[in-house]
Chains A and B, each alone.
Chain A
Amino acid sequence: MSLNPDLKTINCTACGAGLDVLGGGRVTVHICAYCGTVLDTLDNYRALQKFDLLKRPDSPFKIGMSGQLFGVSYTVIGTLEHEEVWGARRWTWIDHQLFSPTHGYAWLSLEDGHLTFSRRYRKPVSWMSEAWVERAEVQPQVRAGGEIFKYYDTCSSAVIYAEGEFTWAPKAGEKTTTVSAMSETAMLSFSQTGREREIYHTVYLQASVASQGFGISIGFTPRGTHALQQQKAGGNARFLSVAGLGAMGLCLVLALFMTSQNGETLSAPQRYSLEHLPVEIPFDVRQPGRLTRIDLRGDARNSWGYFAVELEDPEGEVLFESGRTVEYYQGRDKDGNWSEGSNRATLAFFPPVAGTYTLSLDLEEGGSWGPQAKDVFLTNRPMRSLELRIRNGVSSGFWLVVLALGFGAIGGLPLMRRFLHNKARWRGSDWVDEGDD
């Protein structure tokens, strides 16, 4: 912390206290830090009114402090505390008026432990009025400095504490209505007090920057996410998003390709009439260790059949016993035609050795469903025939899809964090789309 070396002083015309004059030629009032009297600097420091100075707000920035912000040397020349009341809720924040002999006036604000830096915005921009916001059916927005500022909120605040020098005359309790609009990096505030209009451009100020610039300890821990706070993304966040999502896409393409690889057909599709079951079907496996798939296809119609399947390896040992249900139902109701079940079923396994395997197939149970349904009966004929096809060397895209999900999580996490951060930034907005309410 350092004090401005070019201090001049005046004596308060109300209490006689010595007051430092820091603020440059555009200062119009000086509020005595000792008695709270508002002194008119343009009229020999005539007393205008008095502020209650009993409740001085707690801020690490004191009047007279000098520091560097954005490469410019500023001096704190005034402190204001604002209050907004909405129903039972109350918000307060502190504005410090800053002065630079080379860059003019600015504001350093402290709210919920967050610091922001504001300057008057003098470039041409449409005025976002309260009336526009109230009439708007879509979120109002203005373009300024190459950025789009979308409406954020409207607040009506009053000054409850003032001390120091200001370029305007704060009045205790006087309401100021401010309409705010936010871009990705900054906020434009359209303030109206009585007939006076001003636009301010506000950016977030990292506590470390202010702390270093003024050589003080801020001593406040920011609470929650400020609307202007930039996301603390790691240096590799964008890389992880691009690389992760790219790898996910590659995995999905490979999975699609692998799923389409059906290997070689070991036996041409054979159709077995159910009256000829059980059957034994020998087939030669030339690629052991590769996925081998048995495809069953029935012609059930409002019926089902459970087919027992047993496989023996070349040594005659049972490799597995299992079974598959082939069932298909259809009908029509008030919602239209419907169907359930499938006439297709598959079994897939890894043959441990090459050689001739023997598949046994039998209809174990079957039945029909519907108005003419009968009780379940063994080895009846719920369908006419069953088609069977065996393939060896089949590929699967399953694990590639799992890997794609993993890469998707890696690539999507930074995007999700960005989304949640933006959501938190806009949480304080009072704009509600018609679809959201």
Chain B
Amino acid sequence: MTVFRLFFVLLSAAAISGTSYVAYLGHGGESRDLDRSIRAVSAGRGLNGSIK
């Protein structure tokens, strides 16, 4: 196995392991609109104002 291939396999394994841990903690699943005192969601008829 060439050095490049070994490096790629090790780097990939590290990336998958690290990302799996981050995924286990739930990162990426948090809501993006939870800043204090900012209401980021529009009220009702939120489907671009036109339903169907």
Contact surface of A with B, Cβ cutoff 8 Å: 235-236, 239-240, 243, 247, 250-251, 254-255, 258, 261, 263, 289-291, 293, 304-306, 308, 318-325, 327, 329, 331, 333, 338, 340-341, 346-350, 364-367, 369, 376, 393-400, 402-403, 407
Contact = CB atoms under 8 A, between A and B. Distances in A.
Contact of A289 (B20, B25, B33, B51): B25
Q: Closest 7 CB pairs between A and B?
A: A291-B26, A398-B28, A396-B29, A320-B34, A306-B43, A304-B44, A258-B23
Contacts of A235: 2
B23 A395 contact: yes
A256 to B, nearest CB: 11
Contacts of B12: 243, 247, 407
Contact of A325 (B30, B34, B36, B46): B46
A331 B52 CA distance: 9
30 contacts: A236-B2, A243-B5, A254-B23, A258-B20, A304-B46, A318-B36, A319-B34, A319-B36, A321-B36, A322-B39, A322-B40, A323-B39, A325-B41, A327-B46, A329-B52, A338-B52, A340-B47, A341-B47, A341-B51, A348-B29, A348-B31, A350-B30, A365-B43, A395-B23, A395-B26, A395-B29, A396-B23, A398-B29, A399-B22, A403-B19
A321 B37 CA distance: 5
Given A322-B41, A325-B44, A325-B46, A236 B5 contact: yes
B9 A243 contact: yes
A349 B30 contact: yes
Contacts of A239: 5, 8
Contacts of B33: 322
B11 to A, nearest CB: 10
Interface of B: 2, 4-5, 8-9, 12, 15-16, 19-20, 22-31, 33-47, 51-52
Contacts of A254: 16, 20, 23
B50 to A, nearest CB: 10
Contacts of A397: 23, 28
Contacts of B36: 318-321
Most buried by B among A250, A308, A365, A403: A403
A403 B16 contact: yes
Contacts of B39: 308, 321-323
A254 to B, nearest CB: 6
B20 A349 contact: no
Contacts of A350: 26, 30
B44 A247 contact: no
Contacts of A367: 44-45
B7 to A, nearest CB: 11
Nearest to B47: A340
B8 to A, nearest CB: 6
A369 to B, nearest CB: 6
Contacts of B9: 243
A338 to B, nearest CB: 6
